Structure 1
Amino acid sequence: MTSLGVFIVDDEPLARRRLTLMLREVAGVRLLGESDGGADTLARIATLKPDVLLLDIKMPELDGFELSRRLDSLSPPVVIFVTAFNHHALQAWDHGGAAAYLLKPVGLARLRAALGRAGAQLRARDAEERIAELTQILQNLRAQAPAEPSPYVQEFWSLGHGARVRIRTDRVFLIDSESDYVRLHTSDGAAALVRQTLTRTAAQLDPERFIRIHRSTIVRIERISTVRQGPNGAMQVVLDNGIVRAVGRIYAPSLRSLLKSRRTAAAGAMTTSLRT
């Protein structure tokens, strides 16, 4: 901001004249205009867009407090109240948004100090607006930025009936090994063969979503309904649609660890909920 644009509102011509002369003595200030507080005052302020308003309080048509309340709320000028009455000065002090108040007759030193405070208030406002603008720009850039690519596969391709069929990973809930193939079972009840080993498939899947429970089986973790002991004493996993798969002995520890961590997380969430 190179200079402060000032507009004077006072119904007394001599008071306006005195302020005009003193403003010439203040560096970095330019007088944009003046008004006696008549009906056209708000329109002139809206047109000229001053930075600072030197505003009398007691005026016949519209008092200074009411005028300041009617200013454009989007970008109002900083108000410096000017009054001849002490009780008005106290009201002006309580008025939110005013940079200062001055008692008539106004002295040059006090006017200069009040304008300095007004300038500081405007600079702070500009800085806040700039920060808000930059924050919005940053949020927009983040929203437009492409998502970080996942290191895990998002889809498989199956060859069937002479055509390649895409199977999205988020639809797969169970994978069974069939020799050099894997059979992908999807949430819509379909199944598709993909030519690759179960070991390779396991390495391609997100371990937060899938777990290998047998040398021949991978299941989606969120679809596990029950873990139980089977007729022969071995562990079994029951999925939420009733499908049962055996748990291999070497894979049982990792499944137990998963279940334990999930129970701990659930207990922690419940404790937090109860506390709040």
Structure 2
Amino acid sequence: MFSALVIDDELFAREELIELLEETGLIEVIGEASNAIEGLKKINQLKPDVVFLDIQMPQITGVELLGMLDAETMPHVVFVTAYDQFAIQAFEENAFDYLLKPVDTDRLNKTVQRLVKADQPSPAPYHAITPTQLEHVPCYGHNRIVIVSSKDIEFAYSDVSGVHIQTASQLTTSQLTLKVLEEKTVLIRCHRQYLVNLSAIKEIKLLENGLAEIITVSEHKLPVSRRYLKYLKERLGFH
């Protein structure tokens, strides 16, 4: 039995697919989401074996959502799309599988059999279709969802309550990991728990024992560990 999450902004399509999946007797649908932001949160919370993901969704597309996941812990992803056969060819070699809308029962059964035959969950080479850089980062503020432009982020840091994103005007929380933010945004590592945007650095104070402290343009203070100080200097042009 495989656990599954269905992400689709169309309620009817989502409900129909859930019904078809449950009829297979091999898929347990443990959650659903109506958009990519909600879907990202549920992927991290529920950790499904497979995600059935609509490609075309408002604000954040399915492909953009894929780029926000950590490749090392990514579940199988089955694209669900209304694209025609020619458009879908781009996905054939870079996804575990895909389904065309409206979903055909026989085609879905073939997808389920592929899951059964898979020795273990191992992500397909999604890098060929996912964006190398994220233009937007979905975040959560006070009773609202915020889409933050990645270039506006001053720094990000993690603590026991999650990953936090600081811009010049607000502090929000994101479902993205620091690793994904480091790999797919302009932020660079300055500490095990901190990433910083080079353009947001106002000054760097050199402290004792090879440590340092960053002052951002908004007067926030960030620690710099010995491990990353040399790299930070090099990125700023100091050798």
TM-score (norm 2): 0.47
Greater length-normalized contact order (CA 8 Å, ≥ 6 residues apart):
2
Larger Cα-atom Rg: 1
- TM-score normalised according to structure 1 size: 0.41
* Bigger helix fraction: 1
